[in-house]
Amino acid sequence: MARIKGIDVPNRKHVVIALTAIYGIGKSNSQKILKEAKIDESTKVSKLTEDQLTTIRKIVDKYTVEAMQEEKKVLISKD
């Protein structure tokens, strides 16, 4: 089972769906991540190479950091 952001993503699912198990990543962000990584959405997690997983991890880190920064901006503006 592949681990991304401390989450075990399901091996038997298509990677586009499996990435949604990570907090803050929905299907549209998952599609953007895979497009940036140049990985087909229909690929099963179990078929990903270690290089592909590393690429996904780097991109996911960027997306989740950006999401957390946006969330902080919203919370600050509400005060």
Stated pTM of the model: 0.78
The domain tally of the chain equals 1
Let me know: does 2 contact 61? Beta carbons within 8 Å.
no
The CATH number covering residue 11 comes to 1.10.8.50
pLDDT in tens, 2-37: 888 888 889 999 999 999 998 888 999 999 999 999
> What is the extent of the structural domain holding 11?
2-78
Distance CA 9, CA 69 (A): 24
For residues 64 and 45, the model is more confident at 45
